[in-house]
Structure 1
């Protein structure tokens, strides 16, 4: 892939994140003001303003597209896989958002727990997954709380993939010899 194409792709994630954040904030601003969300939906806990999305989404988009372009430089199918990862996580984020907004907390909880279980198999610690998930949830919950949720899932997935799996592989290999 030519270097100029890589640069366009890298900037693309940043632009998508920035435009999504601006669209969300403009909509909120014109419909009663920019909201703040409290941890665990409890007003006695700290709140986070949706203005943080102007920083969070462009950074996540930039990281996701940067990882995609790095992979594309090494492997032709990597860009397609990165887009698929992002779209899959976007779908999960949208399902969570709409089920939460519609009052189906049990569906939202089940979807979130299922996504954590998927993280045991798939590397959801990758930036593409995190960006898609946060982007899908931003229009209902802002960017801060979904980012925290995504980082919890990403942390669990990273521990499984980088710590537990190698230990299990060594134990299995030692047992075979």
Structure 2
């Protein structure tokens, strides 16, 4: 059975990397083309990739060292982090998968990373935005010229 997952990982990793790099390039350069100047999005993508890569390596090292409880706690802390930082972006998934591939193969980190990305999307893009909107509506505002 391990040969099957190795073959799946051998096929999945290049395809996933190619698709995610295409998405990253499309976000960084937009529709202007290949020869335009990169925007701040490319630097943001680099930071996201390196952060997710280090996170994946940390999880792998903790799991390999026998600290699976600590690895689980670090994984749960990602949900708090996802409220403030968009972890659902393609560079984060790529870094996470590459950081964990040596220890877990490519298939399991891809499945876990996709699930974490979806939860991160809900937390960052919807729950956070809803709470910020509700907070803005509840706070009194002093608008000049409305009542005096």
- Assess same fold via TM > 0.5: yes
**Of 40, 44, 63, the match for 1:77:** 40
Which residue number corresponds to residue 107 of structure 1? 70
C-alpha deviation, 1:56, in angstroms: 2.5
Let me know the Cα RMSD of the aligned residues: 2.2
Matched, 1:173 2:117: no
Does structure 2 retain, via aligned residues, the 8 Å contact 1:57–1:131? no
Runs of 4+, deviation exceeding 3 Å: none
C-alpha deviation, 1:105, in angstroms: 1.2
**Of 66, 70, 84, the match for 2:22:** 66
Q: Which runs of 5+ in 1 are unaligned?
A: 1-33, 37-47
**Of 87, 94, 102, the match for 1:131:** 94
Counterparts of 1:116 and 1:50, CA distance in 2: 30
Q: Which runs of 5+ in 2 are unaligned?
A: 31-37, 141-148
| TM-score normalised by the chain length of structure 1 | 0.66
**Of 41, 50, 53, the match for 2:9:** 53
Does structure 1 retain, via aligned residues, the 8 Å contact 2:56–2:97? yes
| TM-score normalised by the chain length of structure 2 | 0.77
Which residue number corresponds to residue 45 of structure 1? none
Which residue number corresponds to residue 113 of structure 2? 150
Structure number with bigger Rg: 2
C-alpha deviation, 1:61, in angstroms: 1.7
The count of aligned residue pairs is: 133
Does structure 2 retain, via aligned residues, the 8 Å contact 1:120–1:160? yes
66-75 or 97-106, which moves further after superposition? 66-75
Does structure 2 retain, via aligned residues, the 8 Å contact 1:60–1:127? no
Higher relative contact order structure (alpha carbons within 8 Å, sequence separation ≥ 6): 2
Deviations 1:35-61 (A, max 9, x none): 36xxxxxxxxxxx71322233322332
